[in-house]
Amino acid sequence: MEIDEIDRQIIAATQTGLPLTLKPYQTIADSIGISDEVVMQKIVVMQEQGIIRRIAAVPNHYRLGYKYNGMTVWNIEDKHINEMGECIGQLNFVSHCYHRPRHLPEWPYNLFAMIHSKTEEGVKRQQQIIADLLGQYNLGQDVLYSTRILKKTGLRIR
């Protein structure tokens, strides 16, 4: 999909965070040299096009006590991957759920689901709930915990 230069500037100005001013869209508009009406209209259009999903206050799970953040990975029979992905993506403790390619033999997993809990028992319980839902279509699983965040930015496009 193609976007114009103004759209690109609006995304650049909003993806890392709106300025904490009383009129944040006005602040962005001033920096680009357009009106806040145009900024908001263009955001609406980009939302309709699916480029922008939403404007959100993004919570920091870790700081809010969710110390156990696991990347669960599953080996799902190919013909059931979409059905299973949609099922797991709906769970309220799953923040992201993706189909990604396998790299055999060292990486057999094709479904990724991020889970979050305040306790170790909590993440174990969540993993079990997913395993139960996947049932016979689950051919193998693992969970990877992050031990260090080495870099994190809010950028989604460049």
Partner 1 sequence: MMFTLMQKKLLNNYQQDFPLSTTPYKDIALSLGVSEDDVLLAFSELKNKKFINRIGSIITPNLIGTSSLIAMAIPENQLQSVANIVSSYPEVNHNYERENRFNLWFVLITKNEKDLQSIIEAIETEAGFKTMQLPLLADYFINLGFDIDFDD
Interface residue with partner 1, options 4, 132, 136, 157 (CB under 8 A): 157
Please, what is the angle between helix 36-48 and helix 24-32, to 10°?
100
List, in order, residues 6 or more apart from 73 with CB less than 8 Å away: 109, 111, 112, 141, 142, 143, 144
For residue 33, the 8-state DSSP code is: T
Question: Does the protein bind partner 1 through residue 137 (CB under 8 A)?
Answer: no
Interface residue with partner 1, options 61, 67, 80, 124 (CB under 8 A): 61
Q: Which of residues 63-82 bind partner 1 (CB under 8 A)?
A: 63-65, 71, 81-82
103 versus 128: smaller Cβ distance to partner 1: 103
Site string for partner 1, 89-128 (x = CB under 8 A): xx-x--xxxxxxx-x--xx--x-x---x-x----------
35 versus 128: smaller Cβ distance to partner 1: 35
Question: Which pairing describes strands 68-76 and 111-117: parallel, antiparallel, or unpaired?
Answer: antiparallel
The two three-digit tokens of residue 77, written as one number:
């029979």
For residue 50, the 8-state DSSP code is: T
